[in-house]
Chain A
């Protein structure tokens, strides 16, 4: 366990180990290798940020570059999943969902139900999400809430390298369609990752930090913002419990509710815009199922209801900061 690798390397390793283990696993996406049909190097990019680098030569014929045609190849991944493969399709930026959503939410997500339980669609859609790259409104969104809304989809938002590897392996082995969302700011995050293969189960929240005063539920990159806030608050004598649900669908409701039963105070940190978000979803859940335990109003900490701005001056304001989390915790702690 002593080995530290990055979030990006952890994802590459998960793909590598599953491709080695199971010949039915293929990957496809725009420039997953890069250089197809061009006179220069093959596997020139290995994905736009290099996440799939090296797999093209290691698994001949199983790393497919696609035309820029998300509806075509995402749908092809879904169809291939119905015919015995376990495809992992990369939607470069989750923002591109707009041109291929039908293949995911009307096709893949609904096959099993519409077909009376006689179909299974073991497809994984990987996509980058999140702000912080100065990539502006069409390359920075945080849309896991949209997928979470759809019955038939599972939605995974790893917050660290260990979870990224184990959750991706679980995603590939899972027999349902899985949306696997990678925060681009986390790609360089290092952490302890076992060399061996392992799976992290869906629907099992990680209690990242224990505390009795305030529960903070956070998703993806926001887990780290929450931990920074919790460490600062510890020095002020406020002990936060930080919960990373790891998957938004299925959602580990019990761990959240048990924690709020203990603390009576809840802050939800969500990089999405606030309306119909995971923040409002968790707030609704807790208001309904742990109402009696609440000692203060639930505080959501989210992006504002605006598109992601370009200028660093604005984008830095857009992303929920550790300071914003800290302030929210203090508000719920001091509420009388």
Chain B
């Protein structure tokens, strides 16, 4: 399969995926020490999805994310340093330490928030897409959701509304096989989530979520159609998460060796490296350099997050209303 991406874009894509991976692996390590408060849901393994979709988006396109949102944030351009501080509950965090892992948002880059409510983002993204349509901006809205959310009424309502209003919206179902500890083989009674698309009068596309290039191409077509007034698309990305539903989940519901096998054979970063170095356009050294830079960035973000102050007591009462 050929790609239309130039070298600069390829390096950008790699950097995005590598940053997500490094970020998540580091949170995984640090969470185990007990220093990170609350709970976190890691995106490691799914990087090609967020990056493959968001590579097509501008700062004024919106995405809505999920409780497993770090990857979407990074791919959409949220600063990882602020994100790390947020996860550590610090005043310097993206949300001043008031949102935490499940609520990282940065509207200035079109990131409408990770979301603690499964399926919560579907209606919201219909709204950003509606605003774009009414204002004639050609922007799109992308709703990321999982196989668990695919069974939520909000997602059905959102897909229906998007089709009724012919909104520039893309519904990206990231099917990682498990809603918490329940397999999608149990909870999704049809073969594929994308099979539901025709019922809403929109195209349904299935794509291999380990293959950045496949996601990138399929997302590109859906987003182009949306920008041109062609209405919504349901894109099912089949992938896997490398860690549990949340950190601390022993994942006893998974097959022994399942994750290890995927990491060794299908990992999106491995596949990407193999492919772009094979045709000589990009060298291993270039990618290694990115790996080092990203590691430095994430290491540094943790050092800063640890040192940064927690929110002042007065912050408890601020930011509830614009005015009250």
Interface residues of A (CB under 8 A from B): 26, 61-62, 64, 66-67, 69, 71-85, 87, 99, 102-103, 106-107, 110-120, 151-152, 154, 174-176, 203, 250
Picked from A75, A85, A174, the residue with its CB within 8 Å of the CB of B154 is: A75
Beyond contacts A76-B130, A114-B103: 8 other A-B pairs, Cβ-Cβ < 8 A, are A67-B157, A72-B160, A82-B128, A83-B132, A106-B117, A111-B113, A116-B319, A118-B95
Task: Provide the bound-state CA to CA distance between A198 and B120, in Å.
Answer: 36
Q: B95 — which chain A residues lie within 8 A by C-beta?
A: 114-116, 118
Most buried by B among A103, A107, A174: A107
- The answer to whether A77 touches B127, judged by C-beta atoms less than 8 angstroms apart, is yes
Which residue from chain A places its CB closest to the CB of B94 in the assembled complex? A116
Task: Provide the bound-state CA to CA distance between A329 and B126, in Å.
Answer: 51
B51 to chain A, nearest CB (A): 23
Task: Provide the bound-state CA to CA distance between A75 and B107, in Å.
Answer: 17
Interface residues of B (CB under 8 A from A): 62, 64, 93-99, 103, 105-108, 112-113, 115-117, 120, 122-132, 134-135, 141, 153-154, 157-158, 160-161, 164-165, 318-324
With A61-B134, A106-B120, A107-B117 in contact, do A67 and B164 touch (Cβ < 8 Å)? yes
With A69-B161, A81-B127 in contact, do A103 and B120 touch (Cβ < 8 Å)? yes
Which residue from chain A places its CB closest to the CB of B107 in the assembled complex? A119
- The answer to whether A103 touches B123, judged by C-beta atoms less than 8 angstroms apart, is yes
- The answer to whether B113 touches A116, judged by C-beta atoms less than 8 angstroms apart, is no
Q: B322 — which chain A residues lie within 8 A by C-beta?
A: 112, 120, 174-176
Q: B94 — which chain A residues lie within 8 A by C-beta?
A: 116
Picked from A85, A102, A176, the residue with its CB within 8 Å of the CB of B134 is: A85
- The answer to whether B157 touches A71, judged by C-beta atoms less than 8 angstroms apart, is yes
- The answer to whether A79 touches B99, judged by C-beta atoms less than 8 angstroms apart, is no
A100 to chain B, nearest CB (A): 8
A-B contact pairs, 24 of them (CB 8 A): A69-B161, A71-B123, A71-B153, A72-B123, A72-B126, A73-B161, A75-B157, A75-B158, A76-B124, A79-B64, A79-B112, A79-B127, A79-B131, A81-B127, A82-B124, A84-B135, A85-B130, A111-B105, A111-B113, A113-B319, A115-B105, A116-B94, A117-B318, A154-B324
Q: B154 — which chain A residues lie within 8 A by C-beta?
A: 71-72, 75, 102-103
- The answer to whether B123 touches A75, judged by C-beta atoms less than 8 angstroms apart, is yes
- The answer to whether A113 touches B320, judged by C-beta atoms less than 8 angstroms apart, is yes
Q: A73 — which chain B residues lie within 8 A by C-beta?
A: 123, 126, 161
- The answer to whether B160 touches A79, judged by C-beta atoms less than 8 angstroms apart, is no
Picked from B62, B105, B116, the residue with its CB within 8 Å of the CB of A83 is: B62
- The answer to whether A83 touches B127, judged by C-beta atoms less than 8 angstroms apart, is yes
Q: A79 — which chain B residues lie within 8 A by C-beta?
A: 62, 64, 112, 123-131, 141
B87 to chain A, nearest CB (A): 13
Q: A115 — which chain B residues lie within 8 A by C-beta?
A: 95, 98-99, 103, 105-107, 113
- The answer to whether B131 touches A80, judged by C-beta atoms less than 8 angstroms apart, is yes
The 10 closest A-B pairs by CB, nearest first: A75-B123, A79-B127, A72-B157, A116-B96, A117-B319, A116-B95, A79-B124, A80-B127, A83-B131, A175-B322
A27 to chain B, nearest CB (A): 12
- The answer to whether A69 touches B127, judged by C-beta atoms less than 8 angstroms apart, is no
Picked from B116, B161, B323, the residue with its CB within 8 Å of the CB of A72 is: B161
A41 to chain B, nearest CB (A): 20
- The answer to whether B123 touches A76, judged by C-beta atoms less than 8 angstroms apart, is yes
A64 to chain B, nearest CB (A): 7
Q: A84 — which chain B residues lie within 8 A by C-beta?
A: 131, 135
- The answer to whether B160 touches A67, judged by C-beta atoms less than 8 angstroms apart, is yes
Which residue from chain B places its CB closest to the CB of A77 in the assembled complex? B127
Q: B98 — which chain A residues lie within 8 A by C-beta?
A: 113-116
Q: B135 — which chain A residues lie within 8 A by C-beta?
A: 84-85
Most buried by A among B94, B107, B131, B141: B131
B102 to chain A, nearest CB (A): 9
- The answer to whether A112 touches B321, judged by C-beta atoms less than 8 angstroms apart, is yes
